[in-house]
Amino acid sequence: MKALGSSGWKGPVKFRMPTAENLVPIRLDIQSEGQRYKDAFTWNPSDPDNEVVVFAKRTVKDLKLPSAFITQIAQSIQSQLSDFRAYEGQDMYTGEKIIPIKLDLRVNHTLIKDQFLWDLNNFESDPEEFARTLCKDLGVEDPEVGPAVAFAIREQLYEIATQSVASAKESRLSKKSRRGSDHGSASKASGLSMDLVKLFSFKSSVVRKRKDLDVYEPVVDLLTSEEVDALEAREERHAR
Amino acid sequence: MEAIDSSAELELYTIPAQSSWFLWDDIHEIERREFEEFFSESSINRTPKVYKEYRDFIINKFREDTSRRLTFTSIRKFLVGDVNLLQKVFLFLDRWGLINFSPSLNDNDTLSSVDNAKIEQGTPAGIRVTATPNSLRPITAPPLVEQRTVSGVKLPPLTSYSDVFTDLKKPDDVLLCGHCGQRCDSAFYQHNKSIINICEKCFKNGNYGGENNAADDFKLVGDSAAAVWTEEETLLLLESVLKHGDDWELIAQSVSTKTRLDCISKLIELPFGECLMGSTSGRLSSAVPTDDEDTEQVKTDGQEHEETETREENEDGPPAKRKRVALISDSDSSLMKQVATMASKVGPSVATAAAKAAIAALCDEASCPKEIFDTGDYTDSTVDRADGDKDTDMEEQKEEKDEPQGLPVALRIRASVATALGAAAAQAKILADQEEREMEDLAATVIDQQLKKVQSKLKFLDQLELIMDAEEEVIEGGKETILQERISVLQCAFRSGVTKRWDHTYVK
């Protein structure tokens, strides 16, 4: 029986990253003794916890940072991991959520701006694969760009997933008896998901309208060293 | 869409034979199976209509220009929907050859990968930039091998020799000085802001080419003076190694332009450099006086040795493995004797081929008439390069240097040394092959053992299973008997007319 009316509401799923591999994005920004360490990478939450300290030690050794960083790095990672784990026990509603993901990042000399749609319900999605294809098709040579793109995607997915947990809790608390379509309105209220019914109905076409094409096209820029320096200086100022 | 196709000219699109099930108007079973999510009616954004639109759009986009390779990113912006799903459809079509199937596309792939090979500063590994244009050093094999494997699964079409090799030879020609137009031999200076390169000479002379280029605008790139070895330097190195053996300080002094480390690394790079290192520690003094003083004697010695060599070799036959160990350990024999022993370790044909090739190479380099060697009466007057011994060829060329004196005797000595080394090369190759075969054998035995282990474990587990089955049966039987007994007890109870109440309590 067609369940179109309830727009494909599925039962709540346990919280996890809606990607093929349940990896957590971890961001580090530690300042101490006049040195600053910024990094962003993905972590597998099922790794044993002692790995965190091992990783911190190795990083400090490889980058020749002062050893005060070890505890700070380990602590930061641990706290982000425990945040993630706190969400893990809870339910989240995924429903039919196709969200636009925006990329606007600079990695060394490469600037990438892009926008595309991502289905939160698709638990086989793979940000790393997407990033690989993007870099290959656009001929990006810097090998650091791919992981940075994948990380940015993951971060956004993580944020949305946590939001959906919060909204699920909210809807459960406030409206215990009603289900289904209410959830649909709750997710739409977040303002992010697309109006799927309209898009995928029989009358409209899946081909994007011309006016939207520019928005959804990836743009890659190669900067010269001066521009990179200028941008970095601006970012520093913003950070302060 | 089909109407448009047919109203224009009827264009033929090639798709592979195994994709002939594809129809414009319909969605085939294969597609249904692959993309179940579209057909399970479980979601709004995945319907058959949507799938067909994606598919048709992608194929049409490809057919707009079949000569170019369609990338996912270029069509992604046109279609609304989850990008992962779109990629799945794209990959499906790509795999079945419904898009990106065209003979020209394979070419583009490999050629572009060759073009993208960075011909930056300096030369790629494996290619030596030589000082003298008329050197005989071959510039082949290694880089080609790397590039072929890099192009991956798509086998490149049968390109011609010149196609592939001219690309690789380019590095030599690229390094033209921006100012004087000559080739930059060892190092060149690159301008920071533009792409002007000037050679060392111009830099020293202050000709920076163009206006207002200051000296600081140039930075030194490419093979620095330390990394490029001219022939003279290599000759000096070898001679000093022969003379001084392990004393690297002295060697570095004699090869004045290179540091100690450079000498060591260069020697290791040279084929049999390590052999020389090991062997020369013993024969320090014997070789030198023989060379300088008893030239005439050596000449005749050489003749005799060559002849006895050939006779020896005919008796020796193919080398055994263990003989290798005792090869260059005798430290008191003269150079010629060592050459003879080395050459005797390999088969006779190999040694003669090596000798011929060495002599031919020498003659070409020194451009002295071949008759010098003819007087020794042990080579043919017409010498052709031995095709089967390319390895030894190249090595001998590297070993031989162009000395200005060009005494016949010196040439001969060098020829014989080169022969010996060439022979040793062949020997080494044979040994390496043997080692490899042994290794493979051992690996096979190990695998065998593992298999046996696994099999015995499986047998054990099978037996365990049987035992478990038997026990299960026994337990089943036990259960049945218990059930039977209960039934009989109940029957007895009923028959004896027990009251209802008692019944309940009992049953509970």
For residue B71, the chain A residues in CB contact (below 8 A) are 136-137
pLDDT band at A240 (very low <50, low <70, confident <90, very high): low
**B40 Cα to chain A: minimum distance (Å):** 10
pLDDT tens for the 508 residues of chain B, in order: 444 444 455 666 777 777 777 777 777 788 888 777 777 666 666 677 778 888 888 888 888 877 788 888 888 888 877 888 888 888 888 888 888 776 665 544 444 444 555 555 655 666 666 665 554 555 444 444 444 444 445 555 665 665 556 555 544 445 566 666 665 555 556 555 555 555 666 666 765 555 445 555 555 554 445 567 788 888 888 888 888 777 778 888 887 777 778 878 887 877 766 565 555 444 443 444 444 444 444 444 444 444 444 444 444 444 444 444 444 445 556 767 776 777 677 777 777 787 788 777 777 776 555 555 554 434 433 333 333 344 444 444 444 444 434 457 777 788 888 888 888 898 999 999 999 999 999 999 999 999 999 999 999 999 999 999 999 999 999 999 999 999 999 999 888 887 655 555 555 5
Across the interface, of B44, B83, B84, the residue whose CB is closest to A124 is B84
Token representation of residue A66: 């002062």
* ∠ CA B420-B422-B427, rounded to 5°: 95
> Would you call B84 and A200 a contact, using CB atoms and an 8 Å cutoff?
no
What are the helix (H) ranges across B270-334? 273-280, 284-292, 295-316
CA B285 to the chain's CA centroid: 41
- pLDDT of B248 reads 78
- H or E, element range at B221: strand B218-221
Across the interface, of A4, A118, A217, the residue whose CB is closest to B83 is A118
Token representation of residue B478: 């036990």
- pLDDT of B304 reads 47
Residue type, B100: N
Q: How far is CA B407 from CA B48, B241, B478, in A?
A: 87, 22, 106
> Would you call B82 and A117 a contact, using CB atoms and an 8 Å cutoff?
yes
> Would you call A207 and B76 a contact, using CB atoms and an 8 Å cutoff?
no
**B53 Cα to chain A: minimum distance (Å):** 7
For residue B42, the chain A residues in CB contact (below 8 A) are 3, 8
What are the residues of chain B with a beta carbon less than 8 Å away from any beta carbon of chain A?
41-45, 47, 49-50, 53-54, 57, 71-74, 76-85, 87
On average, the pLDDT of chain A sits at: 76
- pLDDT of B278 reads 55
Q: Which of A1, A17, A103, A122 to mutate to test the interface with B (most CBs of B within 10 A)?
A: A122
**A55 Cα to chain B: minimum distance (Å):** 32
Rg (CA), chain A: 21
- pLDDT of B416 reads 82
> Would you call B45 and A96 a contact, using CB atoms and an 8 Å cutoff?
yes
Across the interface, of B44, B77, B81, the residue whose CB is closest to A206 is B81
**Can you tell me the distance from the alpha carbon of A149 to that of A143, in angstroms, rounded to the nearest whole number?**
11
- For residue B337, which of B277, B290, B372 has the smallest C-alpha distance? B290
Q: Which of A113, A206, A211, A217 to mutate to test the interface with B (most CBs of B within 10 A)?
A: A206
> Would you call B77 and A213 a contact, using CB atoms and an 8 Å cutoff?
yes
**Can you tell me the distance from the alpha carbon of B90 to that of B35, in angstroms, rounded to the nearest whole number?**
12
- pLDDT of B490 reads 92
Q: Who has greater pLDDT, A213 or B432?
A: B432
> Would you call B84 and A122 a contact, using CB atoms and an 8 Å cutoff?
yes
Query: If you ran DSSP here, which 8-state letter would residue B199 be given?
Result: E
> Would you call B77 and A130 a contact, using CB atoms and an 8 Å cutoff?
no
Across the interface, of A124, A196, A205, the residue whose CB is closest to B44 is A196
Confirm if B52 and B132 have CB atoms less than 8 A apart.
no
- pLDDT of B450 reads 96
For residue B54, the chain A residues in CB contact (below 8 A) are 206
Contacts 24+ apart (CB under 8 A), B234-238: B234/B266, B234/B270, B234/B398, B234/B401, B235/B401, B235/B403, B237/B263, B237/B266, B237/B267, B238/B276, B238/B399, B238/B401
Q: Which of B34, B36, B43, B46 to mutate to test the interface with A (most CBs of A within 10 A)?
A: B43
**Can you tell me the distance from the alpha carbon of A20 to that of B51, in angstroms, rounded to the nearest whole number?**
22
* ∠ CA B282-B286-B292, rounded to 5°: 140
* ∠ CA B385-B390-B395, rounded to 5°: 105
How many Cβ atoms sit within 10 Å of the Cβ of residue A174? 10
Across the interface, of A119, A133, A206, the residue whose CB is closest to B72 is A133
**Can you tell me the distance from the alpha carbon of A87 to that of A17, in angstroms, rounded to the nearest whole number?**
11
Could you read off the pLDDT of A88-122 as tens digits, one per residue? 777 776 666 778 888 888 888 888 888 888 887 77
**Can you tell me the distance from the alpha carbon of B112 to that of B11, in angstroms, rounded to the nearest whole number?**
28
Residue with tokens 């150079």: B335
Cβ neighbours of residue B93 closer than 8 Å, sequence gap 6 or more? B55, B58, B59, B99
A100 touches chain B (CB under 8 A): no
**Can you tell me the distance from the alpha carbon of B456 to that of B302, in angstroms, rounded to the nearest whole number?**
65
Could you read off the pLDDT of A47-91 as tens digits, one per residue? 888 888 888 888 888 888 888 888 888 888 889 888 888 877 777
For residue A98, the chain B residues in CB contact (below 8 A) are 45, 81-82
Across the interface, of B42, B82, B85, the residue whose CB is closest to A8 is B42
A126 touches chain B (CB under 8 A): yes
Cβ neighbours of residue B169 closer than 8 Å, sequence gap 6 or more? B139
**Residues 142-201 of chain A whose Cβ lies under 8 A from any Cβ of chain B:** 196-197, 199-200
How many Cβ atoms sit within 10 Å of the Cβ of residue B110? 20
Confirm if B84 and A118 have CB atoms less than 8 A apart.
yes
pLDDT higher than threshold 50 for residue A199 = yes
> Would you call B57 and A199 a contact, using CB atoms and an 8 Å cutoff?
no
**A128 Cα to chain B: minimum distance (Å):** 11
- pLDDT of B429 reads 93
For residue B47, the chain A residues in CB contact (below 8 A) are 200
**With pLDDT > 70 as the criterion, what percentage of chain A qualifies?**
78
CA B439 to the chain's CA centroid: 20
Full-model pTM: 0.44
**Can you tell me the distance from the alpha carbon of B152 to that of B496, in angstroms, rounded to the nearest whole number?**
89
| Reduced 3-state DSSP string for B122-145 | CCCCCCCCCCCCCCCCCCCCHHHH
> Would you call A125 and B41 a contact, using CB atoms and an 8 Å cutoff?
no
For residue B57, the chain A residues in CB contact (below 8 A) are 206-207
What ipTM did this prediction achieve? 0.78
> A188-223 b/e with 16+ CB inside 10 Å = b?
beeebbbebeebbeeeeebebeeeeeeebbbebeee
Across the interface, of B41, B50, B72, the residue whose CB is closest to A200 is B50
Q: How far is CA B206 from CA A172, B177, B203, B209, in A?
A: 81, 13, 5, 9
- pLDDT of B29 reads 81
Cβ neighbours of residue B433 closer than 8 Å, sequence gap 6 or more? none
Across the interface, of A125, A138, A196, the residue whose CB is closest to B84 is A125
**A26 Cα to chain B: minimum distance (Å):** 23
Cβ neighbours of residue B323 closer than 8 Å, sequence gap 6 or more? B345
Q: How far is CA B32 from CA A205, B55, B442, in A?
A: 21, 13, 50
Following DSSP, what letter does each residue of A211-240 receive, concatenated?
Answer: GGTTTTS-EEEE--HHHHHHHHHHHHHHH-
